[in-house]
């Protein structure tokens, strides 16, 4: 039986990955900060099957102890301060967790000194002000936020330790991906939650920032499978994971409002300067040919189906919450 240690296990990706690994017969450990144990709602169906170990990406000794307790074959580093807008408000904390946290985990693995395969959760935000379209593994990076810069440090230090110490380290450069478990502060979930509230008469509009930004959106359960596949290869490599199709926030809104039968959504959406980023990333679209060819990976759920699932799930959650 293989053993995996997941950081960020309580988040969207972490919970989907934990489910996948349990299905594959893994023993799953989750690194958890003391303050995070009350945030296990994404794991409610599998919580009893996971062993939680205390640890924090800002404390290297705790990471080494977590490795010694879990004895993992694979480590998936998904923990981060991952909200891009917030990274402008808390740049130092973002850098400490999202950037330096990767170094601390790699150093802990090196000190642990047993064969461990390491997955680093990269981000399309590292491409930022894109230098070529679509973006592939060799595209130059140009991050436009403290979050993107921190993720880029994590990317390069993962690569550096792979080359310097012959470690099995991979970077997954994942483009935007969502699911019913996405945090409410993210624009996609803000939209689906807002639409569910409009549908149920709880509110009459949604406040959003830039509606013209274009993204390449996939479904999170498909993307965690790509993470797992990367660590099953003979050689460690980096991969772009994306759908290869881009949509604007406006197009996302159109598809989401259609789920509740509204075609003209203008009067339901208001723009608010508070949600604008100081430096915007206008357009991201990936090319995952390398992952298709070498990993045999392709996305299964398209954006329309994903949005439908998210809106319907939010309607269900709100009906329960408001006893409707």
Same CATH fold assignment for domains 3-178+219-241 and 187-215+245-284+301-321? no
Place of tokens 């959003």: 208
Class of residue 116 by CB neighbours under 10 A (exposed 0-12, middle 13-18, buried 19+): buried
Query: Of residues 125, 178, 180, 225, which has the active-site annotation?
Result: 125
Task: End-to-end CA distance of the chain: give it in Å, rounded.
Answer: 45
Residue 235, exposed/middle/buried by CB under 10 A (0-12, 13-18, 19+)?
A: exposed
CA nearest 155: which of 220, 198, 102?
102
- Whether 125 is catalytic is yes
- Yes or no: say if 271 and 78 are a contact pair by the CB < 8 Å rule: no
Helix/strand/coil for 140:
coil
What CATH number matches the domain at 3-178+219-241, 3.40.1080.20, 3.40.50.720, 3.40.630.30, 2.50.20.10? 3.40.50.720
Please list the ranges in the chain whose pLDDT falls under 70. 37
Q: Which residues of 282-320 are buried (b: 16+ CB within 10 A; e: fewer)?
A: ebbbbbbebbeeebebebebebeebbbbbbebbbeebee
pLDDT tens-digit series, residues 61-104? 999 999 999 999 999 999 999 889 999 999 999 999 999 999 99
Q: pLDDT at position 194, please?
A: 98
Predicted pLDDT at 39: 87
82 labelled catalytic:
no
CB atoms within 10 A of CB 204: 10
CA distance 229 to 236: 11
Find the farthest-apart pair of alpha carbons in the chain and give their distance in angstroms, rounded: 59
pTM: predicted TM-score of the whole model, two decimal places: 0.97
Going from N- to C-terminal start, the domains of the chain cover: 3-178+219-241, 187-215+245-284+301-321
Taking the C-alpha atoms of residue 252 and residue 236, their distance in angstroms, rounded to an integer, is 35
Domain 187-215+245-284+301-321 has CATH 3.40.50.1820: no
Per-residue pLDDT, 35? 76
Catalytic residue among 15, 70, 123, 242: 123
Q: Is 119 a catalytic residue?
A: no
């Amino acid at each position: 039986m293989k053993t995996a240690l997941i950081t960020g296990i309580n988040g969207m990706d972490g919970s989907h990955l934990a489910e996948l690994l349990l299905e594959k017969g893994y023993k799953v450990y989750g690194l958890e900060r003391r303050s995070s144990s009350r945030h296990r709602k994404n794991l409610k169906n599998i919580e009893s099957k996971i062993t939680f170990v205390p640890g924090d990406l800002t404390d290297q000794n705790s990471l080494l102890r977590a490795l010694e307790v879990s004895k993992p074959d694979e480590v998936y580093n998904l923990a981060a301060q991952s909200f891009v807008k917030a990274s402008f408000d808390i740049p130092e904390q973002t850098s400490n967790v999202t950037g330096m946290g990767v170094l601390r985990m790699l150093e802990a693995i090196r000190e642990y000194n047993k064969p461990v395969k390491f997955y680093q959760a990269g981000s399309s935000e590292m491409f930022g002000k894109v230098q070529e379209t679509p973006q592939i593994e060799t595209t130059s990076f140009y991050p436009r936020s403290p979050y993107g810069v921190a993720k880029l440090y994590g990317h390069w230090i993962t690569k550096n330790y792979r080359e310097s110490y012959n470690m099995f380290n991979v970077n997954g450069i994942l483009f935007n991906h969502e699911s019913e478990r996405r945090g409410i502060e993210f624009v996609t979930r803000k939209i689906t939650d807002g639409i569910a509230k409009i549908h149920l008469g709880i509110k009459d509009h949604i406040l959003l920032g830039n509606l013209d930004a274009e993204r390449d959106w996939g479904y999170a359960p498909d993307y965690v499978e790509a993470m797992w596949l990367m660590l099953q290869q003979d050689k460690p490599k980096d991969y772009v994971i994306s759908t290869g199709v881009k949509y604007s926030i406006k197009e996302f809104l159109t598809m989401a409002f259609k789920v509740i039968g509204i075609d003209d959504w203008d009067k339901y959406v208001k723009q608010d300067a508070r949600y604008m980023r100081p430096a915007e990333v206008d357009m991201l679209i990936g090319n995952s040919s390398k992952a298709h060819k070498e990993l045999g990976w392709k996305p299964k759920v398209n954006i329309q189906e994903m949005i439908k699932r998210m809106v319907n799930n939010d309607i269900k959650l709100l009906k329960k919450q408001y006893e409707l």
